Chains A and B, each alone.
Chain A
Amino acid sequence: MEISKSYFADERHGDFKEIGQSRQRSDTAGHVRGITPFYADRHVPGLLHLRMVRSPHHHARILRIDASAAERHPGVKRVITAMDVPHNVYTVLSLINIGPEDEPVLAFDKVRWLGEPVVAVVADSERSAYEAAALVRVDYEELPAVFDVEDALKPGAPLVNEYHGQNYYRYDSGASRKVRLGDVEAGFQKADYIIEERYDSSPIEHAPTETTGCIVVPDQNNRLTCYTGTQAIFFTLDNASIILDVPGQRLHFVGGTAGGGFGGKVDCTVEPITLLAAMLTGRPVAFIYNRYEEMQISSARAAERIYIKDGLTKDGRIVARRVRCYVDSGAYSRHSPYGAQKAAAHFPGPYTIPNVGIDCYCVYTNRTPSSAMRGFGVTIADFALEVQMDKLARLVAMDPLEFRFINAYRDGDMKAHHQLTEGAALIECMQEASTWANWPVDSRYLKMSSRERKG
C-alpha cells in the first residue's frame, strides 16, 4: 500500500512518533497461532447447553405447546417458555427511545418467521438438549405469509407484526423517512433525459468464523458473568437487564475479542435467554449458534429494492433525483428502522444535485429479521447509485469517470439532508485512480479540487 502524499499536503501537518507507524498488532501472535481465547473457549465445570425449538412455519398461530416429553428426557434441567421471560416483548433500540417493542424473546401467540424461537431447552449435554428440543410438540395453525416488500405494502397483505399495526415502521415523517431538497418535480421539467431504474439485493450473511453465542456463569455473589462475542458490551447488558427485569449491577459482561462481527453481533439474541437459563438452573449455561443458525437464524443484511429516477441534462449534469428504497426488515425491527434512516441520509450519494426527493421504507415481511451489517444502509445504496451513474454517463455518451467528476460534491455544497459538505476528497480519489489505473480523463478534471467549486 502506498500513501499518495501529493494531495492535501498543506492540511497534513504533524510530527508524530507513534502515529503513522506500522507497529505490529498486539494480538497477532495469538491470532496466527490460534491460541487467542474467544468466548467459547471458556471451560466451565458443570456447563449446561441450551438449544432452541424453532418455528417450522413462516407465519402461524401457536395453538398449544406440550413440552412434557422434553422435560422427562434424560439430562434435561429446564424447559423455558415465553411465560418464564420477565419482559418477553422487547426491541433493542428502546435504549434510544425507538419503539415500539415488537419482538418476543420466545414466541407465544404466533410465529412470524421460519426459525423463530419458541421454546428453550437446557440440558447437561448438547446431545440431550438437541434430543429434547425435538420432543417438544407445538401445534400451529398456518397463516398466509408475505415475502416481497412491495406486496407487503399493498392493501390486504397479511399483517406481519401486530405491534406496528401495518407492514412498515412509522416514522415521525410517515411511512418513510423523507429527505427533500429543492423541488424535484421542477428539476425533472428542466431535464433533457429522465431515466428510472430498479435495483435489488438479497439477504447477505455476516458469516463470521466464530458463530454468535455466549456462556453465562453464575458466581458466588448472586451475580452472573456473561462471556460473549457481542460487538457492544453495555448495549447488550442494558437490553438484557430490561428483558430479565434484573438490575444492571447483577450483570457482568466480558468480551472484547470477537471472531468476526461485521455488524452481526449487536442484536442481543442469545445473551438474555442464556442469562435466564443460568438464573433458573443456578448453573453455567452455553448457547452457541451452530452454522445453520448463523446462516438462517442470525440477522442478515437486509435485502433492498431501490428505484432511482434521474433527470439529466445533455451536458451531463444531474438536475433531479428521486429515490424510493424499500428495506426488507423481516418480521421484526431490530436495527432496521435505523438502517433505513441511515440510507435516507446517504442518498443521493457523493454528488451535488439541487433537487432531491428520498423516501426510505422499513418494511416487515415473514422473513428472518435483518439488522446491522458492515455498510448498514449504505452498501446496497452504493451499488444502485454507482451502477446508475454508469448508465447515466452512457446515456449522454460520456466517459463514466468524467461524468462523476462533473457531478462530484465539493466543500461548501449543500447535501440533500441539508448539511454543507466538508472535508470532501472524492475528486482526488478519482484523480489518483485515473492516472494510476491508466483510465485517461480530460486534463481539466485532473485540475479540479474538492476544496473549491471551480473548474
Chain B
Amino acid sequence: MAKQRGRGVAAVNYPTGMNLGGDPTQALVHSTPTGNFIVSLSSVDLGQGIKSVVAQICAETLGVPTERVIVDTADSDTGPHCMGTFASRGTHRAGNAVIAAAKEARAVMLEVAADMLEADSRDLQTDRDGNIHIVGVPGKSVSVTDVALAAHFQQGRSISGRGMFFIPRSYPSPTDGAMKPSTCYAHACTIAEVEVDTETGEVDVLSLKSVYEVGRALNPKMVEQQLVGGTWMGVSHALYETTEPYYPARDHACRDFNEYLMLGIGDLPKTEIRVIERPAPDGPFGAKGLGEMCANAPIPAVANAIFDAVGVRVDSLPISPEKILRALLAKESSAAA
C-alpha cells in the first residue's frame, strides 16, 4: 500500500458557437447627451463577465475609454435579440454585433465632430482619452462630451448604431454528415500530475499546467478567471461529480451538496495557465470562444495520469475511489491467477 505518482496529458479543440439552428445576435449602441455610450443587448452574464468584455470591445471600436461605456442587458423590452449565452458564443457573437453597432455610431460621432472642427471626418482620429483630433493639426480637437452635446442640442443628430452578427444555419448532409456547425476553434493542452493512494483509492491532483489557445485574450484577467474555474470544474468532473453514482441504476441519487461531491477548496490543485493567441479572422479582435473548452482537457489528463501512477484504467466517469480500488483488486487477482 502506497501513494503513487503519475503524469498524464490531453489535447483538445473546441468549436465557437453552434449554428445548426442559425446563430444571430444583435446589439445597439447610442450616446447619452454628455457622451457616454449605452450598449443595449439581451445577452446574459452567468458570471463570466460578458458585460465587461463587450464594454471594452465597444470602447476600442468607438475610440473612447472603457469607463464611458455602460452595458444594459438583458431586458426583452429594450435589448435586441440574442440567441443566448451558451456554446462559447457570447464574446464572439455579441462582440461582433457590438463592433458593428459601435462602428456605425463612431461614423456619426466623427461627422458631428467634423462639422464642429470644420474638417473632413476622414481626417479625424480619436485619442481614446475622450477627444477627437484632426490628424496632423496639433491643438485642433474637440471632446467627445462636446460632440455629444452638439449632436443632441445643435445638430439634431443621433450618435447611434445597429449591429448584427449572424451565422446562417448549416444543415448536415443526411448521408455523410457534411456540415459547418460552428465557426473558429480554440485549443488546449493540459498536463496533470496526480498522487493515487492505493489503499483508499483517493486521487490527489497535485498540479495542472494548461496551455490554451484563445484567439485573443481581450481581457487577460477575465480570461484567466474563466480558464482557472473551468480547469477546476474539469477536475471535479473527473473525480467526483454525478447525480447518479451507480448509473444506470438509479440508487443513491444525490440530493444536495452533502451528497453531490465536488472539488472543495482543500482539493484545489496547483493550477497554472499559459495562453497562446492565434487570432480568428471572424472573431472580435480575433477572439475565439473559450468558456467551455477549459473544463475538457483536464478530465482525460487526470485519467491518463491515474493510469500512469497505478497502471489501471477507469474508463467511466467519475473516477471514484471505489472504481479505482475495484480496478486495482481486479489487476491483483489477474496477476495472481
Contact = CB atoms under 8 A, between A and B. Distances in A.
B21 A338 contact: yes
A180 B177 contact: yes
Interface centre among B14, B177, B237, B307 (most CB of A within 10 A): B177
A207 B315 CA distance: 24
A276 B210 CA distance: 48
Given A93-B21, A426-B189, A433-B211, A207 B262 contact: yes
Interface stretch (A132-140, A159-167, A374-382): A374-382
A254 B76 contact: yes
A416 B12 CA distance: 16
Interface in A311-327: none
A382 B44 contact: no
B172 A19 contact: no
Nearest to A236: B84
B108 interface: no
B85 A231 contact: yes
B209 A198 contact: no
Contacts of A426: 11, 13, 187, 189, 213
Contact of B172 (A95, A173, A389): A173
B278 A11 contact: yes
A263 B295 CA distance: 13
Interface string A8-45: 10011010111111111111000100000000000000
Contacts of B173: 418
Interface string B162-176: 000000010011111
Interface in A240-266: 251-263, 265-266
Interface in B261-290: 262, 273-281, 285-286, 288
A105 B52 CA distance: 36
A243 to B, nearest CB: 16
Given A27-B45, A179-B176, A254-B75, A200 B216 contact: no
Contacts of A372: 86
Nearest to A337: B20
Interface string A372-400: 10111011101111110111000000001
Nearest to A338: B20
B12 A232 contact: no
A119 interface: no
A443 to B, nearest CB: 18
A54 B66 CA distance: 49
B280 A423 contact: yes
**In the complex, which range does the number of interface residues on chain B fall in?**
35 or more
A419 B180 contact: yes
Contact of B296 (A200, A303, A375): A375
A203 interface: yes
B74 A233 contact: yes
Contact of B250 (A12, A58, A172, A404): A58
A29 to B, nearest CB: 12
A77 interface: no
Nearest to A426: B187
A12 B277 contact: yes
A28 B18 CA distance: 30
Given A235-B83, A296-B253, A181 B176 contact: yes
B218 A19 contact: yes
A232 B18 contact: no
A83 interface: no
A11 B65 contact: no
A387 B317 contact: no
A432 B250 contact: no
Given A19-B216, A303-B247, A201 B184 contact: no
B2 interface: no
Nearest to A205: B243
Interface stretch (A61-69, A188-196, A280-288, A343-351): A343-351
Contacts of A418: 173, 176-179
Interface centre among A251, A404, A418 (most CB of B within 10 A): A418
Interface in B14-59: 14-15, 18, 20-22, 42-47, 49, 51-52, 55-57, 59
Contacts of A96: 20-22, 169
A17 B69 CA distance: 14
A177 interface: yes
Contacts of A19: 56-57, 60, 216, 218, 285
Contacts of A401: 9
A258 B277 contact: no
Given A2-B274, A295-B255, A378-B296, A417 B177 contact: yes
B205 interface: no
B292 interface: yes
B227 interface: yes
B325 interface: no
Contacts of B178: 417-419
B187 A235 contact: no
B11 A429 contact: yes
A341 interface: yes
B243 A383 contact: no
Contact of A433 (B209, B227, B242, B303): B209
Given A233-B84, A234-B42, A1 B76 contact: no
Interface of B: 7-15, 18, 20-22, 42-47, 49, 51-52, 55-57, 59-60, 65-66, 71, 73-77, 79, 81-87, 128, 169, 172-182, 184-185, 187-191, 209-213, 215-224, 227, 230, 233, 237-238, 241-245, 247-250, 253-257, 260, 262, 273-281, 285-286, 288, 291-293, 295-297, 299-301, 303-304, 307, 313, 315-318
17 contacts: A4-B274, A22-B220, A173-B172, A178-B174, A179-B176, A181-B176, A230-B44, A233-B75, A256-B42, A261-B47, A292-B256, A350-B12, A382-B296, A386-B12, A416-B177, A430-B11, A433-B211
Q: Would you list the 7 A-B pairs with minimal beta carbon distance, nearest first?
A: A232-B84, A179-B177, A386-B300, A96-B21, A256-B74, A418-B178, A22-B221
